[in-house]
Amino acid sequence: MRILQVYNQYRSLFGGEEIVVLKIAELVKKNGGAARLALRSSRGLDRSLGGKAKAFLSGIYNPFSFQEIAEILDEFSPDLVHVHNLNPLYSPSILVGLRRVGLPVVMTVHNHFHTCPTADHLHAGVVCERCVGGREIHCVLQNCRGNIFESAAYASRSFIARALRLYVDNVTLVIALNEFARKRLSMAGFDPKRVAVIPNMVDLPPSPADSSRGSYAVFSGRMCIEKGVYDLLQAASLASEVEIRMLGSGAVIDELKRRAPHNVRFMGQVEHHRVQDALRGARFLVFPSIWFEGCPLALLEAMAHGIPVIASRIGGIPELVEEGVTGLLFEPGNVTELAQKMTELWNDPQRCARMGMRARRRAEIDHSEQVFWRRLEAAYDTALRWSD
């Protein structure tokens, strides 16, 4: 099987979506296929007004993008094209072109772009669903990007894609990361019969850690509002006996350092092997997101190492963390409940160990490389069959 992936790299570094794209290419090759990646990056985009206007127009419909893809098609001759993020440099124009040449298209949806112009369903740090169902104007009225030009651009891009059915009519099969996302895609007009649920995979270390011996709790991820980091700091001040190590960096890290109580340590952006070492020394992972999470790799990595998770009950997280079995759940934004859950697990290391072992088993059953490939290959086969 010959698979071409198409991906517009985000401006931010260290994203889970990019890791998934690269892992898929590895798996295709590992299982006897050929893989190629068509990549454009947003990291060097001109941030001037003119540059933003160019990106805006490109994101709506870039008629020149398919020329690049067509050259790759002639050279590589893929059986199927697997697309991920297309904005702003590719745009859904390539989907129209691929349909015209008769190639099946599989699209993995990693965020909520199809029901929210800014893709995160957050406004002023609170979940917002005002744009769902064709009401993108609220993105402008609320100035969701903090810049009226950008807010209008995002709203227009979403409106045109929805009104012209650029995604709905030109994708053969859609991959959602969980059942929560599958239902959201149905709200956006996608045929539920053409949506497959394939959670992300995670590398399994040879053996799990003993979380009962962990000497701290850990947070791993971007330091940004949607990850619930401000809530975590407040909860840490209430659960002062729990040492928390924060792995990662992001836009608000300097402010977080100023606000942090004495029991929070910032480790910075560390290499992947050091993240794994930090997980293996932890008693539990804290994952306090306030947005509709998909299938976060940070959470899966903790489970793979046999580390239980305390996470917010939002988005796809409850499909990953089973309450009282592989971890504990709390209502997003409820700082007191989060602090109580952290104290509860911190004072019961043997319970941490039991939950950790069950989390590891869950990772083996649902998120191993073999399971992921079996599901992905079945999705590819289905898309090929439907295109005949």
The model's pLDDT over 341-375, given as tens digits with 9 standing for 90+, comes to: 999 999 999 999 999 999 999 999 999 999 999 99
Backbone φ and ψ of 302, nearest 5°:
-60, -45
Mean pLDDT of 211-218: 97
For residue 22, being part of any structural domain is answered with yes
Shared domain check, 261 and 192: no
Backbone φ and ψ of 188, nearest 5°:
-85, 0
The answer on pLDDT for 58 being more than 80 is: no
Give the residue from 41, 105, 34 showing the smallest Cα distance to 75: 34
Q: Can you tell me whether residue 234 is helix, strand or coil?
A: helix
- Side chain identity, residue 177: L
What pLDDT, on the 0 to 100 scale, is given for residue 177? 97
Give the residue from 141, 6, 113, 132 showing the smallest Cα distance to 66: 6
What pLDDT, on the 0 to 100 scale, is given for residue 42? 80
Shared domain check, 293 and 185: no
What pLDDT, on the 0 to 100 scale, is given for residue 140? 96
- Side chain identity, residue 231: D
Token look-up 């992936």 returns: 5
What tokens were used for 282? 């932890």
Shared domain check, 338 and 283: yes
CA dihedral 160→18→226→166, nearest 10 degrees, is: 10
Q: What is the mean pLDDT of the chain?
A: 93
Shared domain check, 28 and 173: yes
**Alpha-helix runs per DSSP H in 243-368:** 253-259, 272-280, 297-304, 335-346, 349-366
What pLDDT, on the 0 to 100 scale, is given for residue 387? 81
Is the CB of residue 246 less than 8 Å from the CB of residue 223?
yes
What pLDDT, on the 0 to 100 scale, is given for residue 216? 98
Shared domain check, 249 and 321: yes
Shared domain check, 15 and 50: yes
Shared domain check, 241 and 346: yes
Shared domain check, 258 and 175: no
The model's pLDDT over 29-55, given as tens digits with 9 standing for 90+, comes to: 999 999 999 999 886 655 555 555 555
Dmax of the chain from CA atoms? 62
Q: Can you tell me whether residue 221 is helix, strand or coil?
A: coil
Q: Write the CATH number for 15.
A: 3.40.50.2000
Is the CB of residue 174 less than 8 Å from the CB of residue 107?
yes
For residue 145, being part of any structural domain is answered with no
Report, in angstroms and rounded to the nearest whole number, the Rg of the chain calculated over CA atoms.
21
The model's pLDDT over 77-119, given as tens digits with 9 standing for 90+, comes to: 999 999 999 988 898 999 999 999 999 999 999 999 999 999 9
Shared domain check, 311 and 220: yes
Shared domain check, 343 and 228: yes
pLDDT-derived band of residue 65, with 50, 70 and 90 as boundaries? confident
Distances (CA, A) of 212 to 141, 290, 348, 360: 50, 28, 8, 14
Half-sphere exposure of 144 (CA within 13 A, CB side): 25
DSSP 226-266: GGTHHHHHHHHHHSTTS-EEEE---TTHHHHHHH--TTEEE
What tokens were used for 106? 């599989």
What is the domain extent for residue 102? Answer: 2-114+167-201+369-387
Backbone φ and ψ of 163, nearest 5°:
-65, -35
Shared domain check, 101 and 230: no
Shared domain check, 309 and 177: no
Distances (CA, A) of 364 to 205, 207, 230: 10, 11, 32
